[in-house]
Amino acid sequence: MNGAVDFGQRETVVVVGHGMVGHRFVEALRARDTEGRWQVVVLGEEALPAYDRVGLSSYVGTWDAAALALPGNDYHGDDLVELRLGARVETIDRQAREVRTATGETIAYDALVLATGSYPFVPPVPGHDLDACFVYRTLDDLDGIRAAAHRAGPGAAGVVVGGGLLGLEAANALRLLGITPHVVEFNPRLMPAQIDAGGGAVLAGLVSALGLEVHTGVATSGIEATDSGVRVTLSDDSVIDAGLVVFSAGVRPRDQLAADSGLELGPRGGVGTDLGLRTSDPNIWAIGECAAVEGACYGLVAPGYTTAEIVADRLLGGAGEFPGADMSTKLKLLGVDVASFGDAHAATEGALSVVLHDAAKGTYAKLVVSDDAKTLLGGILVGDATAYSALRPLVGRPLPAEPAALISPAGAELGADALPDDAQICSCNNVSKGAICSAITEGACDIPSVKSCTSAGTSCGGCVPMLKKLLQQSGVALSKALCEHFEQSRSELFQIVEVTGIRTFSGLIAKYGKGCGCDICKPTVASILASTSSEHILDGEQAALQDTNDHFLANLQKNGTYSVVPRMPGGEVTAQQLITIGEVAAEFDLYVKVTGGQRIDMFGARVDQLPLIWRRLVDAGMESGHAYGKSLRTVKSCVGSTWCRYGQQDSVGMAVRLEKRYRGLRSPHKIKLGVSGCARECAEARGKDVGVIATEQGWNLYVGGNGGLTPKHAVLLAGELDDETLIKYIDRYLMFYIRTADRLQRTAPWQESLDGGFEHLTQVICADSLGIAEDLEAAMAAHVAGYRDEWAEVLDDEEKLSRFVSFVNAPEQSDPTIAFDDSGERKVPVLLGLPEVAAGTRPK
């Protein structure tokens, strides 16, 4: 389309670039522009809308671009934002206030925002442009690296040129692809911008132990093509025969578009701006990595977000200015903690360094302090960065204790009270201690609510430990007590039951609790007892502990009847079983519905009819689907490679195997699983507590997906697993959840509440960091070996059968309050004599 686009009376702001910072600018402007003053046109060069480039490495193994998509990146439903993808801007006509794209389209602007980001620096090494050479910047780059790694084959070498942050991430990506990484760094240590020689030495030792080959103090002299890939020659004349090369030697601001249009550049590149992010043209602004704010470019996302917020403020008449950038970083590289903050290299005149190096543990801690040792200037942590969240906000402030005591394991622990209200707790989103404490005072009494109110902890997560300390300091942290009868938490009671062997509620409360119990602790203890043994939940004293659903092994409905859901593993069912279900539904006049979990639900059974219905189903080879319990519900699947032309693995077979393995597993909350046969995700596995998605190489395992009031996508735990490793990891995950989660806590909030977060969970499950993997697997094996169908056991026990009557004193009489209306297309319950149910309250 030729000619300028006219948007009417509104002013038009054109955004060149749709990365993380460009997207943040659009969000900030639209949130503040309550009068709809600005029409926004976003021109993105890539084919995909904004995605999490910081989390680029998580793409490896999942190969699911949608998982990296930033929330709201398509601006659906917002008429004031137009997103155009694949629209590379080639020229800016500053006089006409127009930009021209590669397709010849011309778009007029009142304000222009350059968010062009940066590009990877590739040193001019002979052979750098061979087909086997890549950069590590976009999803397309990773797709190319993946293809080259598959061509090279498992065990082949891969060279990463650059030993900084991105270089080590690239090396980890190669490792996950089965390639042996060689990291080549010109400087004498890894991560030279963030850590010093001592920290670099410790880091090199830690990553070498994980399978990386580290070459420091050398350069790449040349790259030659070979039959199997490339031959890389280093400056010390050593040679590496490799399958591919990845350049990750730093980035440069993308300022060519600005330079071609005559805008002033910074002394070291980048689009020159003032503190308000305005360029030498008053109608053009620059944000993010491409901006040289008073001559300085910043390569982290946090200062980029700050620049985006400032320009949004300026376009609406504000006077925001760039306050400077906190270049602190905390990350986990290949499972190794690395953190750097403040003046980490002791560049300040008179600065002193206090260092603690524990070679046995593989940790390095350094604090940089003023010449009088009273003010913290910066620091470095390698191997253990738990103190980062408390130390970083103290930069530039008086130290609350001796420097050595703050990094010594036996020294002082920093409390939240050591920080002033203006201390920045969350550097990613610029949230102060005062803002967090205000949110807590106003009612945010847990981590999720603090995150929601303040945005603290929603980006890198490094400040979450400090959020917990602030909650504790404010006195609003909830007691760990299960209820008034037990001072212990659910996980502590679980450990007590396991260690003591107590098998009754009365025995447990007599020794470790007080009183007679309540409707909180009784079903919780019942669940713990069921999780630690294969006893029937209606045996002896346990029967009195169950809530209504578990007591009658069926779901209570609003008119006092029950629903019956037989198990159909993986959605599989035989023709004869379907016939039996139909016959049972007809005989007992039940309403039938196919559930969202690929099962058939029959509604309207009276309690005295339940055993009769179960008998018919059990005789047909079916069993309890546990639709009533806090236990495994379903394992949803697609048809997978057995039938589908896109399927990569047998998803049905795996779903059946998983459902039969974990059926009857009692847990703090219900558990749902899903198995998809390919990345098209027909089983919606990432919406499940445990999701399994097939790849060409095996299975990707996702955990912590929940529906409900606050839906969560599951997160990748491990990728490209074989069948046995997949099941081993699921065994460990589910048993760890069962042992440590709170009462009625689903997997998503449980994962978020873990000390150490998801990284800790990954280490526990995949690396056995706590040394409990064998115990968790043994506990699951005991469950599998001891499983018995609860319906069948009731049918074989006269004492249990006697419970299934409407009235104990008149067992032959049916409940007269149960009635139905089947005059319409659907049979529906009629509420008679149950006013509390009609009002929407479930009977006790």
Are residue 597 and residue 688 in the same domain, yes or no?
no
pTM attached to this predicted model: 0.59
Query: How does pLDDT run across 282-319, given as a tens digit for each residue?
Result: 999 999 999 999 999 998 888 999 999 999 999 999 99
Query: Which range (68-72, 439-443, 773-777, 822-826) has the least confidence?
Result: 822-826
In whole angstroms, give the CA distance from residue 353 to residue 376: 10
Are residue 768 and residue 639 in the same domain, yes or no?
yes
Q: In degrees to the nearest 10, what's the CA dihedral of 15, 19, 23, 25?
A: -60
| Full residue range of the structural domain in which residue 278 is found | 11-119+253-315
Give the mean pLDDT of 247-267.
95
Are residue 243 and residue 291 in the same domain, yes or no?
no
Phi first, then psi: give them for residue 43, nearest 5 degrees: -110, 105
Are residue 216 and residue 276 in the same domain, yes or no?
no
**CATH number for position 38:** 3.50.50.60
In whole angstroms, give the CA distance from residue 432 to residue 438: 10
**CATH number for position 777:** 3.30.413.10
Of the candidates 464, 741, 418, 462, the residue with the CA atom closest to the CA atom of residue 450: 464
What would the DSSP string read from start to end of 759-779?
Answer: HHHHHHHHS-TTS-HHHHHHH
Give the mean pLDDT of 106-120.
96
Two structure tokens written together for 203 = 């880091």
Residue 310 DSSP SS3: helix
Say if CB 157 and CB 182 are below 8 A apart. Answer: yes
Are residue 73 and residue 185 in the same domain, yes or no?
no
**CATH number for position 610:** 3.90.480.10
Give the mean pLDDT of 369-382.
93
The DSSP code for 70 is P
**pLDDT at position 3:** 37
Are residue 181 and residue 265 in the same domain, yes or no?
no
Are residue 652 and residue 768 in the same domain, yes or no?
yes
Q: Alpha helix (H) ranges present in 190-235?
A: 197-208
Is pLDDT of 27 > 90?
yes
Query: How does pLDDT run across 489-532, given as a tens digit for each residue?
Result: 899 999 999 889 999 998 999 999 988 888 788 889 999 998 88
CA distances from 826 to 591, 596, 689 (A): 8, 19, 33
In whole angstroms, give the CA distance from residue 590 to residue 564: 10
Query: How does pLDDT run across 442-480, given as a tens digit for each residue?
Result: 878 777 778 878 888 766 666 777 787 788 777 665 567
Query: How does pLDDT run across 198-233, given as a tens digit for each residue?
Result: 999 999 998 888 788 999 999 999 999 999 899 999
Are residue 275 and residue 237 in the same domain, yes or no?
no
Are residue 306 and residue 337 in the same domain, yes or no?
no
Max Cα distance, the chain (Å)? 95
Of the candidates 554, 526, 592, 505, the residue with the CA atom closest to the CA atom of residue 790: 554
Which residues partner with 342 through β-bridges? 378
Looking at the structure of the chain, the number of domains it has is 6
In whole angstroms, give the CA distance from residue 286 to residue 113: 6
Are residue 294 and residue 336 in the same domain, yes or no?
no
**pLDDT at position 467:** 81
**Across the chain, what does the average pLDDT equal?**
88
Instruction: Give a yes or no: residue 114 inside a domain.
Output: yes
Are residue 595 and residue 688 in the same domain, yes or no?
no
